[in-house]
Structure formats: structure tokens, C-alpha cells
Structure 1
Amino acid sequence: MEQQNLENTDRAFTRVRRLSDFLDNAITIPGTSYRIGIDPLLGLIPGLGDYLGAFLSGYIIFESARLGASRATLGRMFFNVILETILGLIPGLGDIFDVFWKANAKNRTLLEKQIASSEKREKADWLFLFILLLGLLLIIIGVASLSLWILVSIIQASPFF
């Protein structure tokens, strides 16, 4: 039974590592050793890209909770994703920020440190995780609504429409 739990843990961590690499380090910039992922490229899709990136980052938080991350670790992960999501919405500047911030790689490192740590920690409960992910969803909806309101206001104020 314990062998099966260890295998499930390994598979879950492998999923987190692969998704993190895909989002933040999938592509080497030619002529450099610097890597970027799909997340900054998703941000270039108007209206949807940053939200899809936040959703995928939320999955990393979910898996981290299943792997036993503490409340403090999940809280830091949540902060990384929210910061990247909100700043990522700023046209141009947000895309540059996404290239360098790499919230998913930071979150994977936090999870690795948590798993490697031998200190006793209290695993986050499912209610805490639910509140974090609900908060992420509400912030995404709020930012999307604000963006839509700004766009509609600009269109209505424009003499061309």
C-alpha cells in the first residue's frame, strides 16, 4: 500500500514538474541559455491567454496540496500566481514580466523544498485549498470584468463608434 502511495506521489510530482517546465522553461531563446515557457506566449492571446495561464497555475497549486504542501507554502504559491496574473494583464509590460517572474518554476521550487524538508509540517486542509482556489477564480473573474468594463468604456467614449 505504501509503495502505491509513493508511486502516486512520484507521478503527481512528475506532472507538476512537467507542467511547470512547459509553462516557464519549455523553449531556449536561440543564442542564449535563457529559457521561456508557453505562459508568456499565452499572455499574447488577447482576452484569454493570461486567464488560461492562471488556470494551469492553479492546477499546480492543487497538486501541491495533494502532495502535502503546508498552508504557508500554498499561500506563497497563490501570491506568485496572483502577482503574475494581475501584472501579466498589463499590455506589453505584463508579457515582459511573465518572461522573468516564472511563477510556476518558483512554485515548483517551493514544493521541492517542502517535500525535501524533514521538519514536521501540518498539511493544508481541503477547505483552505478550496478557499485559495476560489479566491484565485474570483480574482481572475474580477480582473476580467474590469478589463471588459474598461474596453466597453473606451469603445463608448470613442467618436468612431
Structure 2
Amino acid sequence: MIFAKSHIDLHNIRNNVERVKKLSDNIVGVGPLGIGLDGLLTWIPGAGELYSLGAGGLIVWDAVRARAAPMIVVQIIAIIVIDTVSGALPGAGKIVDVLFTGHKWSADMLTKHMDDTIYFEGARKDMQGSQEYRELLSRIQAGKEKRRVVFLG
């Protein structure tokens, strides 16, 4: 199963993304600052890059499963690539990798995008006749609602 089919799937995707965010960039936190596996493993040659790509890949996979807009997926990929490449740079790259919380940034971007999306369980043709869909459509057409609508069926 690639795409989410229900609100339960979306809930699980959100939990996965939050887990990766916490492990990557905030296992040990002091106030607004924190360090996670991404920052710690950057000091081991190859391990930091491997972890960064793997964790970032999970966020991208969950973005696709949540049917995020293609531009959001591209932005998440760009952030993960910058995070991974910065950690691979000799010297100052290690410090940048500790300070640049790319996984947190990507995860927050995805969860905000999911919050701004209205998900309907079922196919478009099944939902078009519902009162809830007609009311939402009228709010969108009136300019009162600017959210994305995604059908999970």
C-alpha cells in the first residue's frame, strides 16, 4: 500500500514523521536547542550521511503516502540533500550539520501541509454528492476556504 486510504493511515504517517524528527534532531534538548542522531552520527565517517539519507527518505516516503503536493515533496527532498551534503563536508560541515536541523524542518513542513489539507475518505465521485463536500466547495468558491482537498479512495 503506497497511498494513505484512511484517516488512521494519516495519523500513523504523522506519528512516523514526528518520531523521525525527534530522533534526528532532538533526542537531547535544552530549551529550544537540541541534538539528535543526525548531529551525533555526523562525527562518525559515513554514518551521519547514511543516517541522514535514511531518515530523510522516510520523511519523503511519508510525504508521498500522505499525497503531499509535488512542490512540497521537492522542497523536502532539497532540504534533506542540503542536510546530508553539509554533514559530509570536512571540518565546518560537522558543525553545520549539528546546527542545521533539516529533518525537523522537513517534518514540520509536511505536518503543516497535512494540516492545511482536507482529506475525504472515499473516491471523488462518491463524495461529490455529499452535503459536506458541497458546503466545502461553496466556501472554496467564495474565497473563504483555501485548503487543498484530497480524496483517499
Fold similarity call, TM over 0.5: yes
**Aligned residue for 2:21?**
20
Q: Tell me if 1:34 matches 2:33.
A: yes
Per the normalisation by structure 2, the TM-score is 0.69
Q: Residues 93 and 121 from structure 1, CA distance in 2 versus in 1: closer, same or farther, beyond 3 angstroms?
A: farther
Aligned residues with identical type, % of pairs:
23
Cα contact 2:48–2:87 (8 A) shared by 1? no
**Aligned residue for 2:109?**
110
Gap runs ≥5 in structure 1:
124-161
Measure how far apart 1:78 and its partner are. Answer: 0.6
What pairs with 1:4-153 in structure 2 (closer than 5 Å)?
5-29=6-30, 33-118=32-117, 119-120=147-148
Q: Deviations over 1:65-99 (max 9, x none)?
A: 10121111011101101111111111231121112
Letter in 2 for 1:18: R
Question: Matches of 2:111 and 2:46 in 1, distance apart?
Answer: 33
Q: Residues 81 and 33 from structure 1, CA distance in 2 versus in 1: closer, same or farther, beyond 3 angstroms?
A: closer
Q: Deviations over 1:37-70 (max 9, x none)?
A: 1101111111232122212211111111101211
**Aligned residue for 1:148?**
none
Greater fraction strand: 2
Measure how far apart 1:33 and its partner are. Answer: 4.7
Q: Residues 5 and 121 from structure 1, CA distance in 2 versus in 1: closer, same or farther, beyond 3 angstroms?
A: closer
Which runs of 4 or more aligned residues in structure 1 lie more than 2 Å from their structure 2 counterparts after TM superposition? 120-123
**Aligned residue for 2:128?**
none
Query: Secondary structure, in 3 states, of the residue corresponding to 2:148?
Result: coil
Greater fraction helix: 1
